């Protein structure tokens, strides 16, 4: 009986062996782009759209995006109601938005990421804004987060 139990346990261990999953690591690689390689029109677009979102907090007026500027998902997620809710919190904690300062440009296989340090009137404000531009030159994401000196991007599956 003990031998049968031992054989069953061994079979279970062999049957439950971890499988290795191969994935294309090219998709996950992030490279910093040299200033000479930056597309100036794309950089200007990323800056203007990012600034437009944050200036909404100062003016309480948002000019909606169109399909030549952003992807459909960004257009759907960037509503006046959502911006108003975020802006109330930002103005309370950080003061008025001043400007964006480009910190770096990073490239993945499918996107270019513009990382800006967002400047506010209150000195406690230490925020960053990331603007993701896809291969169709459309903004595919705009993300605000706390500033960290080290650039890191979390990849979710």
Condensed to tens digits (0 to 9), the pLDDT of residues 76-113 reads 988 888 888 888 889 999 999 999 999 999 999 899 99
Domain boundaries, position 92: 38-146
Q: Is 19 within a domain?
A: no
Backbone angles phi, psi at 62, to 5 degrees: -120, 125
Q: Is 11 within a domain?
A: no
Q: Is 127 within a domain?
A: yes
Q: Is 28 within a domain?
A: no
pLDDT of residue 157: 38
Q: Is 47 within a domain?
A: yes
Using the predicted structure, report yes or no on whether residue 129 has a pLDDT greater than 70. Answer: yes
Q: Is 130 within a domain?
A: yes
CA 32 centroid distance within chain: 15
More confident residue, 29 or 115: 115
The reported pTM is 0.77
Assess contact for 36 and 130: CB atoms under 8 A: no
pLDDT of residue 23: 46
Helix (H, G, I), strand (E, B) or coil at 98: strand
Q: Which long-range contacts (CB under 8 A, 24 or more apart) does 107-112 make?
A: 107/30, 107/31, 107/32, 107/33, 108/27, 108/28, 108/29, 108/30, 108/31, 109/26, 109/27, 109/29, 110/27, 110/134, 110/135, 111/135, 111/140, 112/33, 112/39, 112/42, 112/46
Assess contact for 70 and 133: CB atoms under 8 A: no
Q: How far is the CA of 85 from the CAs of 53, 55, 56, 69, 89, in angstroms? A: 13, 14, 11, 23, 7
The CATH number covering residue 45 comes to 3.10.450
Q: Is 54 within a domain?
A: yes
Q: Is 78 within a domain?
A: yes
Helix (H, G, I), strand (E, B) or coil at 138: coil
Number of domains in the chain: 1
């Amino acid at each position: 009986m003990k031998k049968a139990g031992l054989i069953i346990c061994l079979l279970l261990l062999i049957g439950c062996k971890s499988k290795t999953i191969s994935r294309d690591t090219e998709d996950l690689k992030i490279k910093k782009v040299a200033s000479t390689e930056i597309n100036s029109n794309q950089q200007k677009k990323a800056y203007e759209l990012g600034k437009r979102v944050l200036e909404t907090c100062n003016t309480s007026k948002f000019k909606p995006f169109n399909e030549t500027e952003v992807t459909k998902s960004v257009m759907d997620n960037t509503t006046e109601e959502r911006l108003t809710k975020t802006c109330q919190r930002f103005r309370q904690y950080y003061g008025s938005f001043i400007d964006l300062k480009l910190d770096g440009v990073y490239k993945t296989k499918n996107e270019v990421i513009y990382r800006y340090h967002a400047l506010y009137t209150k000195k406690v404000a230490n925020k960053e804004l990331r603007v993701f531009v896809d291969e169709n030159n459309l903004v595919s994401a705009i993300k605000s987060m706390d500033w960290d000196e080290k650039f890191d991007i979390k990849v979710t599956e």
